[in-house]
Amino acid sequence: MKAIIGYNVCKSLAIYEGLAHNMSSPNFNTLYEITEGQAGYFTARQAGEAGYSWERLSYYAKTGRFQRVSHGIYRLVHFPSSPFEDLYISWLRTGLDSVISHESALSIYDLSDIIPSEIHITVPRTASRRRRGIRLHTNRFKPEDVTWREGLKVTTVPRTIADVAATGLAKEFVHQAIQQAIQRGLTDRDALLEMASRRGGRPSRLIAEALAEER
């Protein structure tokens, strides 16, 4: 009986020492590498991958090293807060495979006067549950349809314009986005025409009309 008790105690101590070691040595460099491309924002899961326990994460949030911006979402304080913080929160919540799209992508490019009532995100498959304030779209992307802007994964300008045209954005706003995008050098006629030929339907028609007005 004593041998069994001794064995269990030793095993428990070994486990405790291992946990204590992990909790005492989080890797800030790893966390920084994760957050650098996300404008300083990160999830609790990503912090865990860098060796931060829930206890240590909470401690750093309370002492001001991390800022808790939403449930399970944090920001390194030496990064400035982003004007797109709501998009970061939604993007990180829906997963790094998701992409900011549609009207929300237009707002990142500053190509529309519309303020979306919901955050539009496209996911590669149907999400397991709805999220308040987020409009989920399900679609597949070619690699060339996705880029990074302001530290966010976002649809390219041609893809964004085709998406909003396909989902019914008013003609005048689609035309406005196309004209401003060309004038500001965010895309060109060839890229838009290629997207129009791929999508067909309303996107193709509205892109052709807007480009005709540009001549």
Give the H/E segment covering residue 113: none
pLDDT digits (tens, 9 = 90+) for 94-108: 988 899 999 999 999
Q: Where are the alpha helices (DSSP H) in 42-111?
A: 44-49, 54-63, 85-94, 102-109
Q: pTM to 2 decimals? A: 0.79
Domain boundaries along the sequence of the chain: 2-76, 85-214
- CATH topology (fold) of 2-76: Arc Repressor Mutant, subunit A (1.10.10)
Q: CB count, 10 Å around CB of 90?
A: 25
Q: CB count, 10 Å around CB of 169?
A: 21
pLDDT digits (tens, 9 = 90+) for 119-133: 999 998 755 556 778
Q: Residue 77: its pLDDT value, please?
A: 92
